[in-house]
Structure 1
Amino acid sequence: MTMMEGASQLGAGGRTATPADTAARAGTAIGEISARLDRLPATPAIWKLIVLLSLGFFFELYDLLYTGYVAPGLVKSGILTPTTSGLFGTSGVASFIAALFAGLFLGTIACGFLADRFGRRSIFTWSLLWYVAANTVMAFQDTANGLNLWRFISGMGIGVELVTIGTYISELTPKRLRGRAFAICQTIGFSAVPVVAFLSYLLVPKAPFGLAGWRWVVLLGGVAALFIWYFRRNLPESPRWLAGQGRTDEASQVLAQLEEKVARQYGKPLPQPEAPDPVPRKAGFADMWKGPYRQRTIMLIIFHIFQTVGFYGFANWVPTLLVKQGITVTHSLLYTTVIGLAAPLGPLIGFWIADKFERKHVIVWMAALNIVAGLLFSQVSSVLAIVFLGVALTLAGNIISFTYHTYQQELYPTAIRARAVGFVYSWSRLSAVFSSFVIAFTLKGFGVTGVFVFIAGAMMLVMLAIGLMGPKTLGQSLESISH
């Protein structure tokens, strides 16, 4: 009989259980659940869960990143303009990008608590349906204001989904696999980049069946995403979340079913769980600003404000930057399709390095590569150099992406993981709202070189924040990191 099963309504000596006794038993139950999860070997049953969640991430990134690829089509159709007459004009590509990130900001900062309140599985499902519906409406807009409004609404759903998927994976994955699990998730997710780039190359310059090509790119992503809604039935709720809600019997039952599948595939008795790590007391939102979490919160806010400039400054603007350099829309989309083929390679490389090198060190070195490659990209004009440096920027950005998605999920306890990550992550969305206007303004006044000098300064601040303030997490349990 486990400690969890032996828990009763009485405290020591038969006395009535106090709130402290109840909290202690709940902590013991959570610790046991976590220890049982962390000892599971990497069998197909574990990887199946990771792949299912990763497919959801694929469509998240498809919807998140098609912005830059459909932008030339929106300009060609006369709905948007490539630059704006004023810093915060609402008729340019910058306003379309800003609308998305304003929605992402609201979705992550105001709705991140939903996954902590209602569970990872249900919010994963409903936020997907939310953004698919909003994107479908957006695909039929003919004005800049209508386009921006529905991009904002879809961004809210995408923001909730991104936080939920990261939290879900971190809690379902044994500690020795967390880095590789996020690497696989991002590899599958970033496969959306060449897909959306290629579809945009085929469709954006045309109007199949009389419907503008950019509308087809938007609609195809939503239709395909509905398949993930269908397959969600194979996803269990997070046992860690269930135990944290006091639903310990249900958590144990869900985990026992997973253990049975893993043991059958493993072919021998499962390893014995290690002694449970002490579980942090029940945490609330205010705990983000106390103890070890305060420095982590400040570090991640600084990181997210500036990493967004580097990642989306290139990903969302590269077709427009190339057009600004005199390259035609068709050739710009062709080059970005080739560059986009490298997108899944960054996290795929990460599969071999994720659980071997400290997360913070990987982020710092890739930020340095981003600075060098970006400044060189702004000075070249040959096709070979554009593609080579574009690939380097893509690899650096995507390795940073899968690494910080792992890293930030490790820095907070289960009780507040989704809302805390949602809060710090939301600063990247707020940053993107304003940086998109700044990049458009910089592009107009200082050209492509000015844009990459701006990006380089932002990535330098990323290096300083993570390098000086980030704790080490490699190979540690979620509970031990939370102390």
Structure 2
Amino acid sequence: MNSTPPPSPSPSSPSSPHSPQSPQSPSAGALSRTERLDRLPVTRRHTRLLTGSGIGWALDAMDVGLIGFIMAALTQHWGLSHTQTSWIASVGFIGMALGATVGGLLADRFGRRHVFALTLLVYGLATGAAALSTGLVMLLVLRFVIGLGLGAELPVASTLVSEFSPRAVRGRMVVLLEAFWAVGWIAAAVIGTLLVPLGDNGWRWAFAIGVIPAAYALVVRLTLPESVRFLESRGRHAEAEATVREFEASEPGPKFLQAGTPAPGDRVLDEAQRDAAIIGTDGDAEVTGIWSKPLRRRTAAFWTVWFCINLSYYGAFTWIPSILASNGYSLVKSFTFTLVITVAQLPGYACAAWLIEKWGRRVTLTTFLVGSACAAGLYGLADAGWQIIAAGCLLSFFNLGAWGALYAVGPELYPTPLRATGTGAATGFGRIASIIAPLIVPPLLVFGGTGILFALFGVAFAVAAVAAYTLPELKGTALAER
């Protein structure tokens, strides 16, 4: 890919569609701002955006990951039942469900960057306050507030990175963003292993570390750019042009992020054309929302994948430390097992990031979901310590690779006015499963043990794989070209 952006009209020309003073979008004969972004190489500005968003993503993961260790500790320190500890996880996911849906709507209305910073602030402060909890009720209330901020941030961050990423590597960039989740989850496992078992107040210190996102919110507000697509949709063309030029002027980023030469015959579409093209051939169909006729089938499939992957992931990984502890392993040993299993998430993300541009979105997502189904079955049959670790590592590898591919697929399914809403609504629907998952684990363990529990998770992954295969393949297309 050439490092020099395509020529655009001079900004000094009064009639220039890219003039900072012009309230109009680029004319049909010139490249739109979003097309100029699409054709750039990955620059250092892209790398800073990915890193900045990724740090917020990792801090989110650290908060979610810590709760599994804290649940296991509070079972012993507060004498909680499995049902009570289930609600510590589930009430957070209730907040995440509401936050994901509202966050997407707010991001489409007020901008990605502002909502991103606000959500970091909300859940960072609430997490710090949770360290001072005096009882179960107070902890549950704060976990709900934490979930509101956390749920709203995730779809907003992926939308922001997706809208700035060059077309040829968009999937890879979003998967790399998702890979920061593994970094945060590993950090949670390290904190959980080293701090939580130290004493009755170890879990409080783990929560206290979660206040870091509140400080990071200021960094987000000051350094991350606002979405060009959002700015144009609000008529803020001067800001949009300045942002595009900042990316165009930036030096190329790391070579491993770069794509090859664009394929011959690439279409040059302005934003309106690309958003219209997503309707397909049914020109009479009106797109008023994500359940409009042209988008109905992909929304249903997308929601199905989100529901099933949430059910299995949070049902399994939230409870693994507690399940190991209840099976006779000490807190230290069960947490150490979980830490080893968690590390396998990183190669899963790396593999998905490479395959998503090699195989395409649909095949990569489907393959990793099938692998997750098989790994869940193996974990249910595991007995010895080495079998638990081996099956758990496979489950981490495939499951988190599937997560990465899923976040890459989402923003490409919807046109600009509905993009954050579409991804946020799917995330919110998936959170319903994450609410249910921790609650169904205790009765299933009593009824049939680990085997039945992970058989259910395997079936959910298989259903998700079938739904994923029905999604459109969007590799190499413009962001809203289909």
When normalised by structure 1's length, the TM-score is: 0.87
Please say if 1:6 is aligned against 2:15: yes
Deviations along 1:184-231, one digit per CA (max 9) or x if unpaired, are 212223111221111111111113xxx711111111122266235335
Q: Distance in 1 between matches of 2:291 and 2:392?
A: 39
Deviation for aligned residue 1:446 = 1.5
Residue 148 of structure 1 aligns to which amino acid in structure 2? L
- Could you tell me whether the CA contact under 8 Å between 2:128 and 2:210 is conserved in 1? no
2:276 is the alignment partner of 1:276: no
Q: Secondary structure at the match of 1:158?
A: helix
Q: Which residue matches 2:161?
A: 169
CA distance in 2, matches of 1:285, 1:93: 43
Would you say the 8 A contact 2:172–2:356 is kept in 1? yes
1:302 aligns with 2:304: yes
Equivalent pair of 2:158/2:177 in contact (CA under 8 Å)? no
Equivalent in the alignment of 2:258:
none
Whole-angstrom distance in 2 between the partners of 1:409 and 1:27:
25
Other structure's SS at 2:472 match: coil
Inter-CA distance 143–362: structure 2 relative to 1 (3 Å threshold): same
Q: Deviations over 1:351-389 (max 9, x none)?
A: 322211121212222222222222221222222211111
Task: For 1:397 and 1:263, locate their aligned partners in 2 and report how far apart those are by CA, in whole Å.
Answer: 32
Equivalent residue of 2:481, what SS? Answer: helix
Cα deviation digits, residues 97-142 of structure 1 (max 9, x gap): 1101100011112332111111111111111001111112222112
SS in 1 for 2:274: coil
Instruction: Tell me the residue number matched to 1:471.
Output: 472
1:118 is aligned to 110
Q: Which amino acid aligns with 1:408?
A: G
Q: Give the 3 Å change call, closer, same or farther, for CA 224–290 of structure 1 in structure 2.
A: closer
1-side partners of 2:101 and 2:70: how far apart? 27
Q: Does 1:237 align with 2:262?
A: no
Structure 2 counterparts to residues 27-46 of structure 1, below 5 A: 32-46=32-46
2:72 corresponds in structure 1 to 72
| CA drift at 1:345 | 2.1
Q: Which amino acid aligns with 2:479?
A: L
Q: Does 1:96 align with 2:88?
A: yes
Contact 2:369 2:464 in 1 (8 A): yes
Residue in structure 1 matching 2:195, options 178, 197, 203: 203
**Residue among 416, 437, 440 paired with 2:439:** 437
Shift of 1:258: 1.7
Secondary structure of 1:195's counterpart equals helix
Question: Which 10-residue stretch deviates more, 446-455 or 39-48?
Answer: 39-48
Conserved? CA contact 2:125–2:214, under 8 Å: no
Correspondent of 2:138 among 137, 146, 152 = 146
Q: Secondary structure at the match of 2:480?
A: helix
For 1:163 and 1:474, the matched residues in 2 are separated by 20
Q: 1:381/1:408 Cα in 2 relative to 1: closer, same or farther (>3 Å)?
A: same
Aligned to 1:364, the other structure's residue is in SS state helix
Among all aligned residue pairs of Structure 1 and Structure 2, give the percentage whose two residues are the same amino acid.
25
Say whether 1:131 aligns with 2:110.
Answer: no
CA distance in 2, matches of 1:344, 1:186: 10
- Give secondary structure in 2 for the equivalent of 1:141: coil
Q: 1:402 to 1:478 in 2, by over 3 A?
A: same
Structure 2, unpaired ranges of 5+: 1-7, 18-22, 256-260, 280-285
**How far 1:26 sits from its partner (Å)?**
7.5
Q: Which amino acid aligns with 2:63?
A: D
For residue 100 of structure 2, the aligned residue among 100, 103, 108 is 108
Shift of 1:25: 4.8
CA contact (8 A) 1:128 1:157 kept: yes
* 1:121 partner amino acid: R
**Cα contact 1:66–1:196 (8 A) shared by 2:** yes
Q: Does 1:253 pair with 2:242? A: yes
The code of the aligned residue for 1:179 comes to G
Cα deviation, residue 407, structure 1: 0.2
Once the two structures are TM-superposed, the CA of residue 44 in structure 1 deviates from its matched residue by: 2.3
Judge conservation of contact 1:310–1:397 (CA < 8 Å) in 2. Answer: no
Q: 1:323 maps to which residue?
A: 325
Contact kept? 1:33, 1:243, Cα under 8 Å: no
The answer as to whether partners of 1:31 and 1:279 remain within 8 angstroms in 2 is no
Matched, 1:453 2:446: no
Extract unaligned runs of 5+ from structure 1.
Answer: 9-21, 85-91
